[in-house]
Structures are given as structure tokens and as C-alpha cells.
Amino acid sequence: MSLLVVGSIALDTVKTPFGERADILGGAASFFSVAASFFAPVRLLGVIGEDFPECHVDLLRSRGIDLRGLERRSGGKTFRWSGSYEGRMDVATTRDVKLNVLGDFKPTVPDAYLDSAFVFLANTDPVTQAHVVRQIPGRKFAMLDTMNLWIDTKRADLVDALRLVDGVVMNDEEARSLGGSSNLIFAMNALSNLGARLIVVKKGEHGAVMLRNGEFFALPAYPLDAVKDPTGAGDTFAAGFMGHLAATGDTSWSNLKRALAYGTVTASFTVEDFSLDRLLAIERADLDRRLAAFVSMVTW
């Protein structure tokens, strides 16, 4: 089934202990759409500026991603993010952000996308997320990502948005913050009580845990002895998760478990190199091989 992603497309400058790269392809929707294209037909809704290199557009097109919702704004500049990672590399330090064309992006879903069955609302203002999801009343499953900025400044709007969708994905600090407890499980139960139907929490090197209808499921991360660049890990985790759901059209609890495993192994490739370099160097069979290896590392 079709999988629509709405979110940012960026030019990133990233510094990690393994090097520094300037103006590389970034943004949640870029990471998500490329990673999800291993699984299902992907539709992209986003905005870029005049300065966005055509080679990146060609790359997205080469992955079979539907770009009818990609707007190139004349006279505008592409969203830019600059960040760095140190030590355990679990937190990015933002050095600079320029919203540029993303600043006033109010996405209108093109007619060609209105029959999208699966919808991923990458991190943005929850008012915008609600605006988008309301345009696709026939969707089968929608999920949103968020960040501390919205938890701190637009909490009520975020709670409204999470009640509109079928699932939310966030990292563990965000879940503890929105759920109001330093105990993650308590916080996830609180999010459930707020109206979230499915809560997926990403914990980086510590794996992921999800909750639906009072049932928990958790997985450790795939063990990696070198993480070159964690940028995009969360977005490609969501892409593996949503991609598997869209590919199978199955949102049962048992298939959500398998989707969490696909999210885990997809993200594990992403962080092995900068930008999308590692994901672009593998094939679907590599994902399935790593999933099989992962199974033997987490089941007994």
C-alpha cells in the first residue's frame, strides 16, 4: 500500500568524531522516504529552495519516490541544519538552524496523494500535522513524530494531534517529558491515557519499546561497534517500521512487533555512515539478512 511522508528536506552540515560533512542531504522526509522505499511505494510531500542540488532530486526519483508533492520554491532557500555529536553520540548539539522555505510551509496534500493508506507526519508543528492528517480522511494508519520544542511550547496542540492519529513515535526523553515521569513505562502509560493509541519510543543504542492496548513490546538495538553519524536514525527507524506496515497492509499487534524489528535494522544501517550513504549502498536483501541475524541475537 502507498506510504506518504510529510516533512523536512534539508541540507545538513554534520560533525562527528568520524569527520565533518557540509551541505549533505538531510531532513526527516529525505531520510524517511529513501529508507521506506526498500519496503513500499513512497510519496513525498515537502518543500525545497532554488539552491537544492538537482542531483538530490534525481536520487529521490531513482528510488521510485513519488515527487508530485515536492515543491521547489522560487527565490527561496532550502532548510539548513548544522549539528555535532561527541562522546556517546546519543545527543546532537545543534550549531545552527535556518528554516528558510520550511518556515511558512503549510502543506496541502495533492489530489494524487489523497488515497494514501499510510501516512507519516515527520516532526513539525503539531498544528501543521493535524492540518495535514485531516486532509486524508480515508487513511488506514497515520503516525506522527515530534520533538521537545513542541512538547514545551505547544503541548495542547500536540495532544490534539496525537488523538487524531493512530500512533506516535518519539525518543525516550520526549516521552518522559510529555508523559510527565522520569519512569519511561509510567510515562508511556500516561501518553496512552492522554489518548495516544500506539506509542513507539526510540532509545538509540538501547533499542525501542512500544505500547498499544496495555501491551508492551521491546527490542534492544542491533549491536554496532562503530556509529559514524546518528543523524537520520530516528527517521529511518520510523521508515522501516511504517514501510513494513505499508508493505503488508497489516497493523495487527504481531505485525507491529515485526515492524519494530525492521525499524531497528533499518536504522542500524543508517548510522554506519554519513547522510544516506550507507542506505544507498545496500539492497533490500541486506536488510533481511541483518533482520535474521538480529533474531538470533534477541530470541532464545
Residue 183 as a binder of a second copy (CB under 8 A): the answer is yes
For a second copy, the closer CB: 46 or 204: 204
Q: Report in angstroms how near the CB of residue 300 gets to a second copy at its nearest.
A: 3
CB 84 within 8 A of CB 95: yes
- Assess 220 for contact with a second copy (CB under 8 A): yes
* Residue selected from 2, 128, 189, 192 as contacting a second copy according to rule CB under 8 A: 189
Rounded Cα–Cα distance for residues 138 and 165 (Å): 12
Cβ proximity to a second copy, 149 vs 297, nearer residue: 297
When the beta carbons of 160 and 173 are compared against a second copy, the nearer one is 173
HSE-up (13 A, CA, CB side) for residue 202: 27
What the block records as the C-alpha cell of 179 is: 508523559
Contact 130, 107 (CB under 8 A): no
Instruction: Outline where 16-125 has alpha helix (H).
Output: 28-36, 54-62
Interface region with a second copy, contact rule CB under 8 A, candidates 49-57, 92-100, 115-123, 211-219: 211-219
Indicate the burial class of 222 (C-beta count within 10 angstroms; 0-12, 13-18, 19 or more). buried
Tell me whether residue 123 or residue 268 sits nearer to a second copy (CB atom): 268
Categorise residue 232: left if φ over 0, alpha if ψ from -120 to 50, beta otherwise: left
The site that binds a second copy (CB under 8 A) totals a number of residues, namely 35
Outline where DSSP puts E strands in the chain: 3-6, 10-16, 19-26, 42-49, 66-73, 79-84, 93-98, 118-121, 141-145, 167-171, 198-202, 208-212, 215-219
Point out which residues pair with 202 in neighbouring strands. 171, 208
Residue 300 within binding range of a second copy, rule CB under 8 A: yes
140 neighbors 134 (Cβ within 8 angstroms)? no
CA-CA-CA-CA torsion sign (6, 7, 11, 12)? negative
Write the CB contacts of 269 (distance below 8 Å, at least 6 apart in sequence).
236, 278, 279, 282, 286, 287, 290
In the range 223-282, which residues lie near a second copy by CB under 8 A? 223-227, 254, 257-258, 260-261
Considering only 22-30, 147-155, 198-206, 240-248, which stretch makes contact with a second copy by CB under 8 A? 198-206
CB of residue 284 to a second copy, shortest distance in Å:
20
| Binding segment toward a second copy, per CB under 8 A, in 115-123, 126-134, 156-164, 217-225 | 217-225
The site string for a second copy over 38-77 (x = CB under 8 A, - otherwise) reads: ----------------------------------------
Q: Which range of residues in 96-104, 131-139, 178-186, 233-241 is near a second copy by CB under 8 A?
A: 178-186
Minimum distance of a second copy from residue 26's CB (angstroms): 23
One of 157, 205, 250, 272 touching a second copy (CB under 8 A): 205
Cβ proximity of 178 and 201 under 8 Å? no
The residue (of 110 and 220) whose beta carbon lies closer to a second copy is 220
**Interface positions, 82-101, toward a second copy (CB under 8 A):** 87-89
Cβ of residue 294: shortest distance to a second copy, in angstroms? 9
The contact set with a second copy (CB under 8 A) reads: 87-89, 182-186, 189, 203, 205-207, 209, 215-221, 223-227, 254, 257-258, 260-261, 297-300
